[in-house]
């Protein structure tokens, strides 16, 4: 079946089954490989894109549900002021190790800052909890988001990392 998709300011027509997740349409029909496959179950956030400006896990969004919504991917996020600030902050403090999750991290962070321009540390941690960085560059991801938001990176005391050992 044919679908008309608005991706990064362009209109594309693709012939794929409607249940196919957006991720695979982006990567394998449109050649936009910046959006990554990590888990296929919306558990890791590597595939995060914006659908009408809101972060979505593209591995779990069937292409048939997109309709006229505007999709933005990592290839285009630098065109937005928030995206550009995030990319700059990311490079300035050399956030990444392997880099595989970083597209998803930046897309998720851009969605956060669009909704909450000056997030607290707790708000950043809550919003980013769905994005796994296997190399664990979390300290720097958090710092880069604070830099992009214009918050003094050292401003708020760190009160430790929590987890349940059960």
* CB of 65 vs another protein, minimal distance in Å: 15
d(CA 83, CA 76): 9
Q: Strand, coil or helix: what is 59?
A: helix
Give contact residues for another protein (rule: CB under 8 A).
16-17, 20-21, 23-24, 28-29, 31-41, 43-44, 46, 73-75, 78, 87, 90-94, 96-103, 106, 124-126, 128-142, 158-166
* CB of 157 vs another protein, minimal distance in Å: 9
**DSSP H/E element including 81:** helix 81-92
* CB of 1 vs another protein, minimal distance in Å: 10
Q: Would you say 28 or 68 has its CB closer to another protein?
A: 28
Q: Would you say 19 or 68 has its CB closer to another protein?
A: 19
Main-chain dihedrals φ then ψ at residue 15, nearest 5 degrees? -105, 95
* CB of 4 vs another protein, minimal distance in Å: 18
Token output for 156: 């708020």
Q: Would you say 16 or 70 has its CB closer to another protein?
A: 16
**DSSP H/E element including 49:** strand 48-51
d(CA 112, CA 53): 10
Q: Would you say 18 or 53 has its CB closer to another protein?
A: 18
Q: Would you say 68 or 159 has its CB closer to another protein?
A: 159
Q: Are 145 and 123 in contact (CB under 8 A)?
A: no
Q: 68: Cβ–Cβ under 8 A, 6 or more apart, which residues?
A: 6
* CB of 124 vs another protein, minimal distance in Å: 8
């Amino acid at each position: 079946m044919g679908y008309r998709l608005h991706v990064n300011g362009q209109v594309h027509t693709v012939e794929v089954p409607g249940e196919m997740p957006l991720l695979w349409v982006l990567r394998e029909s449109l050649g936009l490989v910046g959006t990554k496959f990590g888990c296929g179950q919306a558990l890791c956030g590597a595939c995060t894109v914006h659908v009408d400006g809101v972060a979505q896990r593209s591995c779990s969004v069937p292409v048939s549900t997109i309709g006229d919504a505007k999709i933005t991917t990592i290839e285009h996020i630098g065109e937005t002021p928030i995206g550009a600030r995030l990319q700059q902050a990311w490079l300035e403090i050399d956030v990444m190790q392997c880099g595989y999750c970083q597209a998803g991290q930046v897309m998720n962070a851009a969605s956060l800052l669009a909704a909450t321009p000056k997030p607290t540390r707790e708000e950043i941690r809550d919003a980013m909890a769905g994005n796994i960085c296997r190399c664990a560059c979390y300290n720097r991801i958090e710092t880069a988001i604070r830099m992009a938001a214009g918050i003094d990176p050292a401003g708020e005391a760190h009160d430790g990392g929590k987890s349940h050992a059960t």
